[in-house]
Structure 1
Amino acid sequence: MQVEAISEEAGARRLAVRRHRDGASGDAVDWVAEETPVALVFNGISHAVMMATPQHLEQLAVGFALSEGIVARREEIFDVEAGFVCGGTEVRLEIAQPAFLEMKRRRRALAGRTGCGVCGVESLAMLDLAPEPIRKPAEPATPQAAAIARAAAELPGHQRLMQATGCAHAAAWCGRDGEVRMAFEDVGRHNALDKLIGWLSLDDISAGDGFVFLSSRASYELVRKAARVNIPMLATISAPTALAVEIARRAGVTLASFCRRDGFVEYTADNARA
């Protein structure tokens, strides 16, 4: 698939640079990914500020609310509105009162950063390392070599921001056959996944109808987010951490990493348990 040209509205900015290569120098223009503070405000109270690519922010906010367990269901989110304020972006969500009261009880002072999803957690007990088992889809989420090969082949064609800047992660929704049906990009891998989760929820797409393919490693937080919204299978280009594998096994999420056109490593198969 041919990658479409990037634009200023697509999360990147053109900058004048001086390029040095093979002993020669010259003026040039380069595309650089945007990174801006995004505040998530729940029922009038600012809950989290993260650095993100300023695209698909309503999906980011909804996905964050679901994947962080602030709300248990999309129906608990009544309204979402994004707007520019104070040099950044604010996304305001109105959520059900019981969910809001619970959020305040276990509130996190979360000063979000591009590469870290737990910065600001107030205590180790808040990490939530004991997920409930996910609801299993009607068909088992068994990784198929052909599906993963197709996803790995198609994903680059959906990474416009990465192709232009070299500075973005992608989270893609794939059908059971590996077709990439939607992809979201962001400078933060956690944000990219939250955008995808928000899109799945807002478009009322069943998480059991496919799998998520990530252009990153499989960290604990990514697997935990997937488990909270009942995503049955997570495939990643890079390696998992041991904790990510443990969380996936506890939750019943199928985890495949080192996914390439010619193969992958399955970390949650029954015969893979030491």
Structure 2
Amino acid sequence: MTVSPTRSATGLSVQRDGVRNVTRTLPEESPVAMVYDGSTQAVMMATPADIVDFAIGFTLTEGFAPLSEIGEVEVVEHPDGIEARLWLPEHRRAALAGRRRYMAGPVGCGLCGIDSLEAAIRDLPAVPEGPEFDAAEIAGATDTLRSSQPLHDRTRSVHAAGFLQPGVGIVLAREDVGRHNALDKLVGAMARAGLEPATGAIVLTSRVSVEMVQKTAMAGCPVLVAVSAPTAHALRLAEGAGLTLAAFAGGGGFDLYAHPRRIKTGAADVA
């Protein structure tokens, strides 16, 4: 059995000019359990696609283990959901115990289930210096990402995360009902493809929350571009990690908040 990422549903479309029958394509949400060494670490509602990418990316962005220590991912489907089973070296088990999540996290809240305040706001590594981008590449990044969102085209209700390389464009993208899940899937897909995060920027179709900055920094990507706004604390974390943060990207422009040196804006007065 393979769970489809979408299903068709019929309904009534009520408009000013009348009522008509419609058939829509809806994205599925399935519980996906991350199981390490036989113990469930987290359960998240996610689009049931790219589960191996999801498991690897989640492992990397949560800091559980580097790619070299992640073995084969076994995906096991159950009537009630999906398990992604991973086995890590014994010396990694302390990190798992320290970050254990006890609750199923809804797609809108990437921190649900964290069992202490200290675990929610973790120390971040400084990101690599990385490349420079022309301002036009950043301004058009979210518009370019739209061409890599087939699931959104069908459903109009999922997020995407893409990897932008200077002079190349969006080279890889992943989609999910949850913005955190889309980012984890992208990071996992990049790792499997041998794409180094330090060579580009992550582009998001969502706002920039604390965990989006955390995951980007943990992945080792120096630039984060989003279609919507950052939260105040997400900006503080980006400043501390050395992460360039561009928001409200689209329609030929963007706002630049943290560490602008990686984007050639031509504005000499930008600190």
TM-score computed with the length of structure 2 as normaliser: 0.91
Is this contact kept in 2: 1:83–1:90, CA < 8 A? Answer: yes
CA distance in 1, matches of 2:122, 2:62: 13
**Code of the aligned partner of 1:135:** P
Give the 3 Å change call, closer, same or farther, for CA 240–260 of structure 1 in structure 2.
same
Are residues 1:213 and 2:206 paired?
A: no
Q: Deviations over 1:164-213 (max 9, x none)?
A: 21210000111113611111110000000000000111112111211111
Structure 1 residues 26-175: aligned runs within 5 Å: 26-71=20-65, 73-137=66-130, 139=131, 142-175=132-165
Secondary structure of the residue that 1:40 maps to in structure 2?
strand
Match of 1:14 among 8, 31, 39: 8
CA distance in 1, matches of 2:219, 2:191: 9
Percent identity over the alignment?
36
Cα shift at 1:9: 7.5
Is this contact kept in 2: 1:150–1:178, CA < 8 A? Answer: no
Cα shift at 1:106: 4.0
Partner of 2:19: 25
**Code of the aligned partner of 1:51:** M
CA distance in 2, matches of 1:272, 1:113: 38
CA distance in 2, matches of 1:163, 1:265: 27
Cα shift at 1:128: 3.1
CA distance in 1, matches of 2:255, 2:129: 21
Q: Deviations over 1:11-44 (max 9, x none)?
A: 2111121221124122221111111111110011
Is this contact kept in 2: 1:171–1:193, CA < 8 A? Answer: yes
Structure 1 residues 239-254: aligned runs within 5 Å: 239-254=229-244
Structure 1 residues 229-248: aligned runs within 5 Å: 229-248=219-238
Cα shift at 1:262: 1.6
Are residues 1:202 and 2:192 paired?
A: yes
Secondary structure of the residue that 2:84 maps to in structure 1?
strand
CA distance in 1, matches of 2:79, 2:39: 16
Give the 3 Å change call, closer, same or farther, for CA 158–216 of structure 1 in structure 2.
same
CA distance in 2, matches of 1:83, 1:148: 39
Is this contact kept in 1: 2:166–2:200, CA < 8 A? Answer: yes
Cα shift at 1:74: 0.2
CA distance in 2, matches of 1:119, 1:149: 32
**Code of the aligned partner of 1:220:** V
CA distance in 1, matches of 2:251, 2:36: 42
Give the 3 Å change call, closer, same or farther, for CA 86–9 of structure 1 in structure 2.
closer
Partner of 2:263: none
CA distance in 2, matches of 1:38, 1:9: 12
RMSD, aligned CA: 1.9
CA distance in 2, matches of 1:13, 1:108: 30
CA distance in 2, matches of 1:129, 1:266: 24
Q: Deviations over 1:123-144 (max 9, x none)?
A: 101123432212333x4xx453
Give the 3 Å change call, closer, same or farther, for CA 23–38 of structure 1 in structure 2.
same
TM-score computed with the length of structure 1 as normaliser: 0.90
**Code of the aligned partner of 1:261:** G
Partner of 1:4: none
Structure 1: gaps of 5 or more residues: 1-7
Cα shift at 1:150: 3.5
